[in-house]
Amino acid sequence: MAISHPRLLKWFASRNPFFVFLKIMPLIISFVWIVFNSEIRNLYGLHFFLLGIFAWSFFEYITHRWLYHTIFNNKKLKWFLDAFHIHHHNNLTDYRVLNAGLFLIYPLAIFLWLILFLFTSNTEMASWFCMGMLAYYFFYENIHYFIHYKIYTTGYMKFIQKYHLYHHYNKWNKNFGNTITFWDKLLGTYDPEYKQFKITKEIEKELINH
């Protein structure tokens, strides 16, 4: 488990969203620098920014559904995934594994930037896309952290907390979206029964016992 391997925690996890922000700052600064030093600027950058947001929401879903919740035959891969996500399912109050570290977002952002640059030959567009992706990634990391931190009684946080905790406590193979329901509805893993899910005193006690 990750708790027995502090090096895994160092590179693949963050203590809270503040440390996530510190870790992605070099990426943000790099992409902003590219945009503001581009010879050609136009409003299409905003379109690519929004596309980056959309892309992360899908990546969030497919990672949770097909990577974290797939049982792999490879023992090393299974051990690694169990050290974080399965450990998280079994230990909801271990806040050390609620947020990701360097080795999730860095390879993904750099790979997608290179792919977009190869297809568009435009460093500005590739950078806008990655900035949108990073913005929504940071939003996602905050949401996942805080819905495991306290109980919410109103608004979006109440809705997404019930949606996510239903996945934890009732249907581990449903409701994979951590921030939106769109991909679950589109790909057949949406379970509306989460609306009837009650956060009991026992669940509340477990969540806030940190």
The pLDDT tens digits for 56-94 are 999 999 999 998 888 878 887 777 777 777 778 888 878
Q: What is the pTM of this model?
A: 0.91
Residue 128 pLDDT greater than 60, yes or no = yes
Q: How confident is the model at residue 1 (pLDDT cuts 50, 70, 90)?
A: very low
| Measured CA distances, 145 to 15, 57, 111, 142 (Å) | 10, 16, 26, 5
User: Half-sphere exposure of residue 24, counting CA atoms within 13 Å on the CB side?
Assistant: 31
Please say whether the beta carbons of 79 and 72 come within 8 A.
Answer: no
Judged by average pLDDT, the poorest of 32-36, 81-85, 102-106, 168-172 is 81-85
Q: How confident is the model at residue 103 (pLDDT cuts 50, 70, 90)?
A: confident
